[in-house]
Amino acid sequence: ATESAHHSATSHRATAGSNQGDRGYPRALPSSTSHPRTGERGAHLRPARPPPRVARLEAKVPSCCGFIPQMATSSARAPAAAATASGSWAPSTSRRVAARSRPAPATPLERSVGVGTGASRWATDGSRWATVALSRRHEKERRRLAGRPARAVTEPAGDVPISSPPPTADERDGESYDQTGQHTIELPELTPSSRQDRFDLVIVGCGPAGLSAADRASSKGLRVALIDPTPLKRWQNNYGVWVDEFEDLGLTDCFNKVWPKAKVVIDDARPDGIDLNRPYGQVNRIALKDKFLARCVAQGVVFGACAVEGVAHEGDGSVVTLKGGADGKFAGQEVHAKMVLDATGHARKLVQFEREFTPGYQAAFGIMCETDGPHGLDLDTMLFMDWRDEHLSQRYKEMNNQHPTFLYAMPFTETKIFFEETSLVERPGLEFDDLKVKLKQRLAKMGIKVKSVQEEEYCLIPMGGVLPTLPQRTLGVGGTAGMVHPSTGFMVSKTLLSVRSLVDTLAEELKAGGTGGGARIDADGVAERVWQSVWPDEELRMRTFMCFGMETLMELDIKGTRQFFETFFKMEQDIWGGFLSWRIKPLGLVKLGGVLFVKFSNYMRFNFVWSALPFMASFIKNFATADNTFNSDKWGGLVLQKPKLTSVPGQGPIPRPDTDKERNPAAEPISSSSIDFSKLIAGGDIDKPQQASKLRPDREWIEFQQRKIFKDQAPIVDVLEPLANDATVDVLVVGAGPAGLAVAAEMASRGVSVGLIAPDTPFVNNYGVWLDEFEELGLTDCLLHKYDDALVWFNDRDPAAGIGLNRAYGQVCRRRLREKLLARCKAAGVRYAPGLVDQLKHGDAGKGELSVVSGAIKRDGGDDVSFNMSAKVVVCGTGHNRDMLQYEDGPGPGWQTAYGIEVKMPGHPFEVNKAVFMDFRQSDPELEDGSVESGVWRVPSFLYVLPVDENTVFVEETCLVARVQVPFDELKRRLYRRLSRMGLNVTQDQILEEEASWIPLGGTPPTSPQRTLAYGAAAGLVHPASGYSIVNSLRRAPAFADAVVSGLKAGGSAEAATRGWDVLWGDEPRRQVGFYQFGMELLMSLRIEQMRNFFGTFFALPKELSAGFLGNSLTSVQLLQFALTVFFQGNWELRALLLTHLSSAGAGVRLGKAYAYPLLRALGAGTESSVSVVDRKKPPQEPNFSSFARDLFSAEEQGFLPGFQGKDWWAVGTRPEYGERRGSRDDDDDDQAGNGGGGAGGGAGGLSRSSKGPSGTKGRRRDLVSSSMNATSSATSLGGDQGSMAYWSNGSAALVVTSAVRNTGARVDDLYGERRKKFLPAALLNVTGQGVVPPYLTGEMPGDVGWDPLQMGAQRDIMKLRERELIHGRWAMLAAVGVLVPESTARLSLFGTPGQHWWNTHIEWAGTSSGIPELTYLGENIPWGVFWLPIIHLPLFFVAEMLRTGRLEVEAFKDLDRLYPGGKLFDPLGIGAGVSDEELKILKTIEIQHCRLAMIAAFGFIVEALAWGAGPLDVFGGA
């Protein structure tokens, strides 16, 4: 038992002990202004006997309560909702007018029932004030205590005043409905106890269950203590109950509102629904608690305002240990009791369970709102269930088919109403975000405009599951004792009835054991008899039946659910009413089941039995034996169950790594979810991406990253010796990032003079590395943090704690690494100048001329000084800056971007000794129309986390690679939304550092050899498929330095350049990088599910392969081994992706060229640069920063939102000639760049500032939010599809098919319509006359060439004929393969004997030991004998034919095209998905032509077999 034990009684939602609404709809905390009332019927009088010491406890509840976060908005602060679209559900005009013109009168039933002491507005008739007679016992108590002073409870209970002032006109109209207020009462404080002076009963939890138990027990003369941290906190749950249930309990004075009848709407075709002539009411939770509190105080109950640490049981009593309280006053105190009652609700703090608790969950989101104009619902009818779903969008309708929800509505006035979208029961429960979206869509269809949301409700109720261990010493009641109706969620009435049985039995048992605090009892025996009174055999059987019903309901789809409830509510009221109220006996339950089955349709009988079968055995056993072991696993757990997808991916909470896998989701209050409902109904904004033109330019983010200042990193000029302005050196390194410093130190250590020139900037990027790789480099002392493991999540079904990779990880300390590299440079004699290079001019190497580097040296506080330095070799280590080098022609790079923050987050959920490498759990849902079919999907991104300490963490949202850069603002939005879904809120003052990481991946390599050498990212050493570069740059520096220095000594600068480039981009490195780039292009094309599939396979590979791939250490031969392992270890979907990507027009060709580079070079296909002068301000090719910006805005112009791609994504921003688009640039701005021309090179280093970005784009931006949904039609190639196809592939079969279709040269005009090509040339048709082509062949069908010589299409349904032709043709294509394959295997002796043919089957009776004949094929025995043929084949053929002919209907196939169904089942490779309508028509024609050819071939196979006994391959001679 923990501090939160009190949640059951006082906290929000399902955490209350017995405070769940009978309907199961607890209400959230509103924050409207309250109005005071006086006390109710002596409710707050002092106790009749001398009280113990009294402490005044006061709980004020203005807008949020204690530890419960604020979850509702007051009417004054709630944003007004925007108008919603009117639809077919809009109530009639006459009804709305009538609703405006009249007040809501009290119904006769309401006046007869009477609600509230002194009556509420519902018990009034005009100005007349009617009172409700009190029960005789209560009236006596009121008279006896009337003279005693009492403190008033000043919390209003909606429309129900506690004292007798008549209601105002507004109150009669319901305008003052309000559930906000405060309880103020003097509660007797907990008194000391001991083993000699025990309490009779200690109750933990002050919800309806605990408080009603304290009331009844104290009325029986028992000495009672009630423990709860906040006993005066307002109950936050709203309760809806059937009025007759509360009448039996004597609680009809505790209603806010009563409706004479309820209604159930089954579907859209019958909006009038089914009337339920049974009154329904909403409980006044404030009046109900006041009533119980007053009785308890009057009867001597004492209260402890603290939590319970635990309970220890002794032979004749129990010891409860307390904690907390005001200033910790109760910490460690013990309370001695004869018996202890756990009323902590679904938190289940004290009772024990012997089996895993696996309930279903009822989830609901509701709002108490005011509408703009009358809502139009009948004020005398409560809407109990509305199962209509035509209002839902396609995505949510598909979800609703399997996980249906309904509307629950309570109209109070013509403009004040409670709406709730409810999932009856699911395992796991539905997400609140999904319920919010569905409610919003429903209200829009109803034409209801929400003016303000006054109260929000988040309801999560565990239903079913096992009961606590029976018996046990700790008693239980309410939610903790399994008293939620397993099929409906009703509970409060059942709980209050069970309290009577429990307390009455307990009182009798204690009385039999003697009176007084020191009386000794048999506590175990008492507990057993009390539990038996609460759960007798009859009740256990009833609960088993209800659990069985719950499991069956969870298996039904929307159609089955509707038919079930239509039949259910058309039964006699005593049957359905008794079931809902838990008052039907076991024989009645059997009757209910029988009546249901008789009244069900045949469809429903089949589906209901099919859904119930997996649980039937467990149900029969438990019902017969009255046991507590009902198994919710299908078939008793013998069959593995696939986890249900009960929510839209990207909605709802993301489990945190510190989440206990056994966590009870209903144990803590739920007061919010990611989507703000008020914003949702106001404008539909669910935190979606913005247009690129509205975001902060990425160029600014990159410059922000480059210009960071870290005072702990010493200036380079303070470490290295200065380099003169006119110095001459052997090697001049441009750039002072990790790569530049490493290569400068290595070259200087080999005896050559080295100069270093770059702006004096710190290392600004965070580097994460694998620990074993840094150990190999001897740099573990440069690590800031070491992590024992790295975690990954691939999807939402992965464990909350993540999946460990069993590989240590580390975070590099930027300062230590820089100091170490600078120390190496200093020791080797490297000299430094803080300059920026403007121009590089190479002399004639044959004449021994040097290269001259010119530019300006930056002087703090002074003018820049020009320099002209000379060197034999110039090495660019300028990072991603491409200004000083020439690169090969080809596709542009992919882009890896990441936005991260180091943030103070006390008690964050990430383990400090584990890094989060990849968390692919989705941050956002896909766009509503963002399916693959519509051509738009979200570029995947993942969470990357490096914990610093227990209170500080670095979190980063990363896009691994994208064709069009995902902007930093979009990644920032995703990161904050992800953190919010994890319950982690970040404020600006908590952020210690922001990081914007920008890494171009892949692209074309530098032209080699060229006189200017490069190293690090500038030389393409960034891993194209992962973005790793620092380890590769540090590891390869010695080999590169060896090659350059040896070349310099052997043949001068030209030889040095040749050898240096050979190390970087020789034959083997090209093959390796070609393979990595192939992987990058594959990753670039993947949707989120495909990405998860790939990495799930990747990290399951042997560690030497996965680690070698990430570490750039696999040879080209090992990479082929890696590819084959991925292919065979992956599933068929991944294999198809790999094959189609390999056979695509771009990626496969480039991979082949990389492996064939030596041959191509020998044939003269190599590249060599002849550029001798390089001007930084006029670079040889388009700079990276210009390329990504142009692509980003080109994508926007083509209809894509940032962070989204479409099926033609590879065509976006097709590269033009750089010289055609390059404009003039501001030289002064260039000179201000932090790293341009001589940048630090690390991460995003090496960029120089340009002018204002892509010119002329901002003013021309159009609104693309809606058009992004139709990106398929608008996203066309800037440079033509053929050009883009040569560069990129999208990893899908559709691309290969598209390429094949285009290569055929076929056009739709040639195949369809009047001008299509016929079976005869046009000239012959003209000679023979047009009558040769039948008029009914109009060219609408695929393959129609005007040929029907027998006029079959004129006599019969031509579409039926086409269907048969297509089916026979498909069988014939399979048959052709089925003939040729065995013929080949027999000839090659792979399977079968040479000379055997495809028709050679035989049944062998002789020699079989079992007596079962054996079947042979091609002379080979077939396993399992003959009997399996009819058992397996015939039913499959029978079912297939029944489905084809329509005699058997399956819901999933109902709406499919009979000829071209498509989808994953009928088109597993996605050949027809994602292609244009024109291409699909061509594919259909190609298919029917192959069908006709196959039918002819199959006929030929049969004829030659019958006529000559030959097979089709016998033409090639004998085997």
**Nearby residues of 200 by Cβ (< 8 Å), 6 or more positions away:** 217, 222, 223, 224, 337, 338, 339, 510, 517
Determine the Cα–Cα distance for residues 596 and 164; give it in Å rounded to an integer: 49
| Diameter over CA atoms, the chain | 121
| pLDDT computed for residue 42 by the predictor | 31
| pLDDT computed for residue 1160 by the predictor | 72
Question: Are the C-beta atoms of residues 763 and 1070 closer than 8 Å to each other?
Answer: no
418: three-class secondary structure by DSSP: strand
Q: What 3 state SS string does 270-332 have?
A: CCCCEEECCCEEEECHHHHHHHHHHHHHHCCCEEECCEEEEEEEECCEEEEEEECCHHHCCCC
Question: Quick one: how far is CA 242 from the chain centroid?
Answer: 38
Strands 199-204 and 334-342 come out as parallel
Determine the Cα–Cα distance for residues 54 and 47; give it in Å rounded to an integer: 11
486: three-class secondary structure by DSSP: coil
Question: Are the C-beta atoms of residues 859 and 782 closer than 8 Å to each other?
Answer: no
Given the structure tokens 């090179």, which residue do they identify? 1241
| pLDDT computed for residue 1212 by the predictor | 53
Q: Which two tokens stand for residue 970?
A: 């979009």
Measured at the CA of 1381, the angle between CA 1377 and CA 1382, to 5 degrees, comes to 125
Residue 709's Cβ-side half-sphere holds a number of Cα atoms within 13 Å equal to: 1
Determine the Cα–Cα distance for residues 267 and 1471; give it in Å rounded to an integer: 37
| pLDDT computed for residue 204 by the predictor | 93
Which DSSP category does 965 fall into? P
Given the structure tokens 């690129």, which residue do they identify? 692
| pLDDT computed for residue 515 by the predictor | 63
Determine the Cα–Cα distance for residues 159 and 654; give it in Å rounded to an integer: 40
Phi first, then psi: give them for residue 461, nearest 5 degrees.
Answer: -115, 120
Q: How many CB atoms lie within 10 A of CB 129?
A: 14
Which DSSP category does 119 fall into? T
Phi first, then psi: give them for residue 445, nearest 5 degrees.
Answer: -65, -35
| pLDDT computed for residue 559 by the predictor | 87
Q: Which two tokens stand for residue 1444?
A: 């084809």
Residue 169 burial (C-beta neighbours within 10 Å; 0-12, 13-18, 19+)? exposed
Determine the Cα–Cα distance for residues 1453 and 1444; give it in Å rounded to an integer: 10
List b or e across 522-546, with b for residues whose CB sees 16 or more CB atoms inside 10 angstroms.
ebeebbbbbbebbbeeebbbbbbbb
Q: Which two tokens stand for residue 553?
A: 């309901």
Q: Tell me how far CA of residue 1249 lies from CA of 622, 700, 1118, in angstroms.
A: 76, 9, 42
Q: Which helix (H) or strand (E) is 903 found in, with range?
A: strand 894-904
Determine the Cα–Cα distance for residues 236 and 384; give it in Å rounded to an integer: 21
Residue 920's Cβ-side half-sphere holds a number of Cα atoms within 13 Å equal to: 22
pLDDT means per 10 residues, the chain with 1519 residues, are: 33 34 33 32 33 37 29 34 37 38 39 34 30 34 37 31 36 48 80 89 91 92 91 83 86 88 91 90 86 91 91 90 84 90 85 80 90 91 92 85 91 92 87 89 91 88 84 88 81 85 90 70 89 86 82 85 87 82 76 81 78 78 77 60 61 74 67 75 64 80 86 92 93 94 95 93 91 92 94 88 93 94 95 91 86 85 84 90 79 87 92 94 70 66 94 94 87 89 86 91 84 89 87 93 93 90 90 88 85 91 91 89 90 83 72 79 64 78 72 72 68 45 37 37 32 34 35 32 36 51 71 83 70 82 85 76 90 92 86 85 68 75 67 75 72 75 75 76 89 94 90 77
Question: Are the C-beta atoms of residues 771 and 780 closer than 8 Å to each other?
Answer: yes
**Nearby residues of 16 by Cβ (< 8 Å), 6 or more positions away:** 7, 8, 9, 10, 26, 205, 207, 208, 235, 236, 237, 345, 346, 478, 479
Q: Which two tokens stand for residue 1218?
A: 């750089």
Q: Which two tokens stand for residue 1275?
A: 């996203």
412: three-class secondary structure by DSSP: coil
Q: What is the dihedral of CA 1343, 1344, 1346, 1349, to 10 degrees?
A: 70
Given the structure tokens 């969950």, which residue do they identify? 361
| pLDDT computed for residue 173 by the predictor | 40
Question: In the sheet that 809-812 helps form, which strands lie side by side, from edge to edge?
Answer: 768-770, 809-812, 783-787
Residues forming beta bridges with residue 409, ordered by sequence position: 383, 419
Closest C-alpha among 1215, 1214, 1216, 1212 to residue 1275:
1212
**Nearby residues of 1268 by Cβ (< 8 Å), 6 or more positions away:** 927, 936, 1199, 1200, 1201, 1204
Decide: pTM greater than 0.75: no
Q: How many CB atoms lie within 10 A of CB 814?
A: 21
Q: Which helix (H) or strand (E) is 55 found in, with range?
A: strand 54-61
